[in-house]
């Protein structure tokens, strides 16, 4: 049996001391800058329709070059932030962690799984340390990194811990964190459906659907696409 649910979401970090968030099934706008998050299968996707083979080749080369430039920039930033963090850890450790997370996403999309795992794990360690001192600021980033590790490794325990954190945060700031609860439920549903745990997946999708419908009533442009996405995932389960 082959299920093709959609869509797993990796979470990108852009800025740290923030309040608002916007999440959909495919795109997650980071809390302050609303920069796009990255689907694990979609980074540097090349649109080839109605193009010649030569144009496609040049486009692919350009995308690869751009990706490598992005990698070099992130690696240089990481080196600089680590040096700065030795002297001022409270200021620069969060930047180290955020850059590690972005490198992890880049490596995930390039199928450099071991590199991505190390980067996410290092970021998680830093965020856990920061959250012990300033939970109100950094606990959310523990959950983001747990989500990314859970997707990378197909690890239910990481996703479940992320879900627990988001539920906890949503009790205090429902409008901010309810989208993250729904997205993590969707990711868990996909993991369970792919492992043939259909009853668990159905419950997770159903709860995510309820949340997306609530969110779509207030912000249809942002959240309405997530309603049919989750209905599609539920339909796949019923067909199975």
Domain presence at residue 9: no
Look at residue 192 in the predicted model and tell me its pLDDT. 93
Q: What is the pTM of this model?
A: 0.75
pLDDT per position as a tens digit, 52-70: 333 354 554 666 778 888 9
Instruction: Return the closest-CA partner of residue 179 out of 134, 224, 149.
Output: 224
The C-alpha R_g of the chain, in whole angstroms, comes to 18
Domain presence at residue 46: yes
- Percentage above 70 pLDDT, the chain: 73
Token pair 């950094």 is found at 138
All residues at 6 or more sequence positions from 89 whose CB lies less than 8 Å from its CB, including other chains: none
- The upper half-sphere exposure of residue 157, i.e. CA atoms within 13 Å in the direction of its Cβ, equals 0
- The upper half-sphere exposure of residue 233, i.e. CA atoms within 13 Å in the direction of its Cβ, equals 33
Q: DSSP state, 154?
A: T
pLDDT at 35 over 50: no
pLDDT per position as a tens digit, 157-214: 999 999 999 999 999 999 999 999 999 999 999 999 989 999 999 999 999 999 999 9
Domain presence at residue 1: no
Domain presence at residue 62: yes
Instruction: Return the closest-CA partner of residue 142 out of 154, 152, 128.
Output: 128
Domain presence at residue 158: yes
Domain presence at residue 72: yes
pLDDT per position as a tens digit, 87-118: 999 999 999 999 999 999 999 999 999 999 99
Residue 50 zone, left/alpha/beta (φ > 0; ψ -120 to 50; rest): left
Domain count, the chain: 1
CATH classification of the domain holding 153 = 1.25.40.10
Q: Which residues of 64-93 are buried (b: 16+ CB within 10 A; e: fewer)?
A: eeeeeeebeebeebbeebeeebeeeeeebb
User: In terms of residue numbers, what domain contains 87?
Assistant: 22-239
d(CA 75, CA 45): 22
Question: How many other CB atoms are there within 10 angstroms of residue 107's CB atom?
Answer: 20
Q: Which residues of 169-187 are buried (b: 16+ CB within 10 A; e: fewer)?
A: bbeeeeebbbbbbbbbbbb
Domain presence at residue 17: no
d(CA 120, CA 2): 29
d(CA 139, CA 141): 5
Domain presence at residue 139: yes
């Amino acid at each position: 049996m082959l299920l093709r649910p959609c869509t797993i979401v990796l979470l990108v970090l852009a800025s740290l001391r923030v309040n608002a968030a916007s999440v959909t099934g495919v795109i997650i706008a980071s809390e302050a800058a609303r920069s796009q998050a990255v689907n694990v299968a979609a980074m540097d996707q090349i649109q080839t329709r109605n193009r010649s083979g030569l144009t496609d080749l040049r486009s692919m080369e350009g995308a690869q070059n751009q990706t490598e430039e992005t990698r070099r920039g992130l690696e240089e930033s990481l080196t600089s932030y680590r040096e700065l963090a030795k002297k001022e850890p409270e200021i620069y450790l969060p930047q180290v962690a955020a850059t590690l997370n972005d490198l992890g996403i880049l490596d995930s999309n390039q199928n450099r799984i071991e590199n991505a795992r190390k980067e996410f794990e290092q970021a998680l360690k830093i965020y856990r340390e920061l959250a012990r001192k300033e939970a109100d600021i950094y606990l959310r980033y523990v959950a983001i990194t747990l989500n990314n590790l859970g997707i990378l490794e197909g690890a239910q325990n990481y996703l479940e811990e992320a879900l627990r954190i988001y539920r906890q945060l949503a009790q205090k700031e429902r409008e901010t964190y309810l989208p993250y609860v729904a997205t993590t439920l969707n990711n868990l549903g996909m993991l369970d459906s792919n492992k043939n745990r259909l009853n668990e997946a159905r419950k997770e999708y159903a709860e995510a659907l309820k949340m997306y419908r609530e969110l779509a009533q207030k912000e249809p442009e942002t959240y309405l696409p997530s309603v049919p996405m989750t209905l599609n995932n539920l339909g796949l389960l019923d067909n199975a």
